Chain A
Amino acid sequence: MTNTMTGAAMVVKALKDQGVDVVFGYPGGAVLPIYDEIFQQNDIRHILVRHEQGAVHMAEGYARSTGKPGVVLVTSGPGATNAVTGLVDALMDSIPLVVLTGQVPTFMIGTDGFQEADTVGITRPCTKMNWLVKDTDKLSETIHQAFHVATSGRPGPVLIDIPKDVQFATGTYTQIEKIKVSHYQPRVKGDIEQITRLVEMLETAERPILYTGGGVINSGPRASQLLRDLAEATGFPVTSTLMGLGAYPASGKNWLGMLGMHGLYEANLAMHGCDLMINIGARFDDRITGRIKDFSPGSRKAHIDIDASSINKVIHVDVPILGDVASVLEDLLQVWTARGRKLNNEGLAKWWKQINEWRAVDCLSFNNTDKVIKPQHALQRLEALTKGMDRYITTEVGQHQMWAAQFLGFEGPNRWMTSGGLGTMGYGLPASIGVQIAHPEALVINVAGEASWLMNMQEMGTAMQFRAPVKQFILNNERLGMVRQWQELLHGERYSHSWSESLPDFVKLAEAFGCKGIRVSDPKDLDDAIMEMIRYDGPVIFDCLVAKHENCFPMIPSGRPHNEMLLGDADTQGVIGAKGAVLV
């Protein structure tokens, strides 16, 4: 019987049947049978990482840039626990992952065996769903079910823990078509009555805004296209969360830029001053709302989300629409068209006049100099020199991440990979490798800070081994810049442990890994250095020495509402009270 095989063979067959072409992983005792199967086939490519956290972030980069689930294979005990940070990262940012972990044999579970950990217990709150498979006959069905759960509804990471004896034992493989229909079927189509209520509101709105998030990107390219159609047809301004950048093009005329704590002045004031807020696939995160009780006080709010628990969690909305963004936007456009595509054109014209006044503030302006490279300037040059290329950007976490979001423009979805919800330093380098594996010919740049980058720098070995020509664009200020900025603003300029001492020589480090290192410190050499980085056929560690004490503005201080933004250093004296300092 061709359907009878070992559990290990089942794993590989199930992955192939699910269309998996690449697995990020690291072998160990409890997954050796699966690695033996991987050795004997050529359909699935295995990327050997240097640390299991790196494997999960690579899978996230792969998933985010392709729209397909990322797959990870690690061993029991430390292999699983090392993967935990990546799991939570994917859970917070709704990234579909299927993570396979080895486990000690079923008869040893609970005996404190070598490399035993309660993986399903540890990862239960870190995953959308997880399973411990104790019966080889149930293994293939569980894997197929896992792919369904990871990719349906609000996507997320799932984990399957597979004891070693289950991998060795023989069982019956269940084909995808033969598995039972899952009870997990999240609602896709929005309620047409609520959609009609929203249409009535948008017909008369004087000061509307489209507040978009990662849900638009997760919904697929059609959702991004429908968002563009909606913005184009209505003329409504569009802002986006960090996770949603690229769903509406940065060059689009309705684009206000990112909103939130380090969002643009015009975007935040438009959120504060609107009379109709249409939240499309965002979740009123605390980085977005600022002080809750003063959040957009004069607006009626609609919220389109596939996850019912996101609706009314933080902000009470008037029109809740549970459903998939693409499906809801399609119905919305249809209803609006059927009702004659009415708009409050007079109100809209006034609204745009107001927005343009806010735009004129030019909130991203900074004092440039020819003495030292300003980080904002470095990103402006990177943007100018890579614009129009087949480009993907990943980031680490901190000031550089916010500057990248402010100064780089994204024209399409799936081009921007960043750790938003969890804020995981060390995400960007492995994520960039995952993106590059999925898009071998593309230009993949990780915009990094030197401190974040060091957290997973071992993955340069992976980049070298698998010829992933990722460009590590490190804005090196020898500081934990965002921590330093908060200490300056909140903690009386007492810079407790926020500098990077004993940094490696990044150029020599690049040479040690066998790739190229470039260092630049003079603004006049910057363009040539960036071009050298782009042209080099292989991984590059780009050490850009930048101004050390630059602060990231605009900024909404913790505990303040949107209309109390700080635009520059002059605004910062004593603005954050004790109550704000408690918040993160």
Chain B
Amino acid sequence: MSPLNIKKGSSSHSAYDLRDPNAEVIEAHTLAVIVENEPGVLARVIGLFSGRGYNIDSLTVAEVDHTGHLSRITVVTRGTPQVIAQIKAQLARMVPVRQVHDLTEEGPSVQRELALFKVAGKGDARIEALRLAEIFRANVVDSTLESFVFEMTGTPEKIDAFAELMRPLGLREIARTGVAALARGL
């Protein structure tokens, strides 16, 4: 039956479709989710991501308004534009979610992460580690004769770069907080 002269090909596609994953660009987005700070709210948000098969690259959460009982969840996620739109809509419909901001889409933003690095070494390696830490503006927050703990705040990329440099110099452990982000300007 084709008396209707229908053009082939439509734009419709599904977030759950088993289509070729390379067919569309995967984008990373940083979302700021303002939620009512009540028991289980983090589990609710994380459960949404795992239940619907979305990715979490990084997640931070803390109360930001004590009198208003509000917490800010900063989540870095990735997906096709349609999946990102769907994640935002799914978050926004949750009863304890007050606001959802897509910091990647809404304009320039600043993103910072705090990391601690434990580096063990003696001799030249130890001196080199300290020298690089200065260049990266990392602080020494603990020191023994055989180790340092460096503290650094920066973008995730900067922290990755520092970790790469420390690896051959005796990097033992890293602790990272995940990204905190705010939109630039007012």
Contacts and interface: CB of A to CB of B under 8 A. Distances in A.
Interface of A: 120-121, 124-125, 128-130, 132, 149, 153-154, 183-184, 207, 269, 272-273, 292-298, 307-309, 311-316, 354, 563
A293 B89 contact: no
A316 B5 CA distance: 21
Contacts of B16: 314
**9 nearest A-B pairs in the assembled complex, by CB-CB distance:** A298-B6, A309-B89, A129-B95, A297-B10, A315-B12, A273-B4, A314-B14, A308-B89, A316-B11
Nearest to A152: B95
Contact of A313 (B3, B40, B86, B96): B86
16 contacts: A120-B40, A125-B47, A128-B95, A130-B40, A292-B13, A295-B12, A298-B5, A298-B7, A308-B89, A308-B93, A309-B86, A313-B89, A314-B15, A316-B12, A354-B3, A563-B1
B137 interface: no
A292 B12 contact: yes
B36 interface: yes
Interface string B56-69: 00000000000000
B92 A296 contact: no
Nearest to B4: A273
B89 A183 contact: no
Contacts of A120: 40
B55 interface: no
A123 B19 CA distance: 31
B105 interface: no
B98 A183 contact: yes
Contacts of A563: 1
A299 B29 CA distance: 32
Nearest to B8: A297
Nearest to B93: A309
B40 to A, nearest CB: 6
Contacts of B157: none
A360 to B, nearest CB: 13
Contact of A124 (B5, B12, B47): B47
Size bin of chain B's contact surface: 20 to 34
B82 interface: yes
A296 B3 CA distance: 14
Contacts of B7: 297-298
Of the listed residues A154, A272, A313, the one surrounded by the most CB atoms of chain B closer than 10 A to its CB is: A313
Given A129-B96, A293-B19, A297-B6, 5 more contacts: A124-B44, A269-B1, A296-B12, A312-B89, A314-B14
Contacts of A121: 40, 43
Nearest to A148: B95
Of the listed residues B5, B10, B16, B82, the one surrounded by the most CB atoms of chain A closer than 10 A to its CB is: B10
B9 interface: yes
B90 interface: yes
Contact of A125 (B19, B51, B86, B96): B51
Contacts of A315: 12, 14
B24 to A, nearest CB: 12
A427 B43 CA distance: 30
A161 B85 CA distance: 33
Contacts of B92: 308-309
Contacts of B89: 308-309, 311-313
B6 A307 contact: no
A159 B10 CA distance: 41
B10 A295 contact: yes
Interface string B3-41: 111111111111111010000000000000000100110
B1 A316 contact: no
Contacts of A309: 86, 89-90, 92-93
A197 B82 CA distance: 23
Given A183-B98, A292-B17, A312-B85, A207 B10 contact: no
Nearest to A134: B39
Contacts of B11: 316
Nearest to B15: A313
Given A132-B39, A298-B7, A293 B86 contact: no
B43 A124 contact: yes
Contacts of A269: 1
Contacts of B47: 124-125
B6 A273 contact: yes
A312 B86 contact: yes
Contacts of B10: 293-298
Contacts of B14: 292, 313-315
A563 to B, nearest CB: 6
Nearest to B9: A297
A582 B114 CA distance: 46
A207 B12 contact: no
Given A132-B39, A149-B95, A308-B92, A298 B4 contact: yes
Contacts of B36: 183
